[in-house]
Chains A and B, each alone.
Chain A
Amino acid sequence: MHQALEKIFRLREERDLEIDPGMKAELHRAFCARLEEFIREHNLNMTRADFLAATREDYKHWRRNPH
């Protein structure tokens, strides 16, 4: 898997599992910025929602395996 995708998945996992509100807000900003940058950088014709649905199985696999 491309490093950029791994980075996005890792940021998302960190954001999702964080329970401290202040930390979660920071991680949410970082995740949103990274994902938007990835879509823009690679001229991908899709929304954030499209990306999340399209990578469902990859994210699931990534979460289930050591990383």
Chain B
Amino acid sequence: MKMSQTFPLDSGVSSREIRAATARLAHPADPLADWRFEFEEWRTACAEFQQMEESQIIRDDHPSPLKLRQHLCLLFRLMAQGEYLALCLEQNSALDPMELSRLMDQVEAFLGALRDSWHTWHGEALPAHRDALAKFLA
């Protein structure tokens, strides 16, 4: 069922926009309130991406070219957003260095998982590397 059939009235503001405004107003003294909201949204998207990867790539014997392309497209979008979040942190000179390092580690962990997914499912597997690993894979 489409949303419009259940909720015919368009409020003009998405729930995401309302949550973002609420987060900002709830933490007026926090210079990273907007950043934290975007980070939470990105983390949620990364978790959903992992579920998608599990069901459409890992559980599928032969993922279709379309599924692989969707996977790749989402990966690039998520990686781009993660890099943007990291850049925003780097540019925030008012941030305590310890807090900056802690948050950067967290962003890097999610980015690392995304990069590894890219190498795994879209990287080139060379026979020479499989040969080198053969004794561990038997």
Contacts and interface: CB of A to CB of B under 8 A. Distances in A.
Interface in A1-41: 1-2, 4-5, 12, 15-17, 19, 21-22, 24-25, 27-29, 32
B109 to A, nearest CB: 4
Given A52-B116, A53-B124, A64-B59, A25 B129 contact: no
Given A54-B125, A54-B129, A5 B109 contact: no
Contact of A63 (B58, B113, B124): B58
Given A5-B137, A54-B126, A55-B137, A24 B106 contact: yes
Which range contains the number of A residues in contact with the other chain?
35 or more
Contact of B113 (A15, A29, A60): A15
A59 to B, nearest CB: 7
A27 B132 contact: no
Interface residues of B, number: 34
Contacts of A24: 106, 109-110, 113
B133 interface: yes
Contact of B137 (A2, A22, A25): A2
B84 interface: no
Interface in B101-123: 102, 105-106, 108-110, 112-113, 116-117, 119-121, 123
Given A51-B129, A51-B133, 20 more contacts: A12-B116, A15-B109, A16-B50, A19-B43, A25-B109, A27-B109, A28-B108, A28-B109, A29-B109, A32-B112, A50-B126, A52-B119, A53-B119, A53-B120, A53-B123, A53-B126, A54-B130, A55-B137, A56-B120, A63-B58
Interface of B: 39, 43, 46-47, 50, 54, 57-59, 102, 105-106, 108-110, 112-113, 116-117, 119-121, 123-126, 129-130, 132-133, 135-138
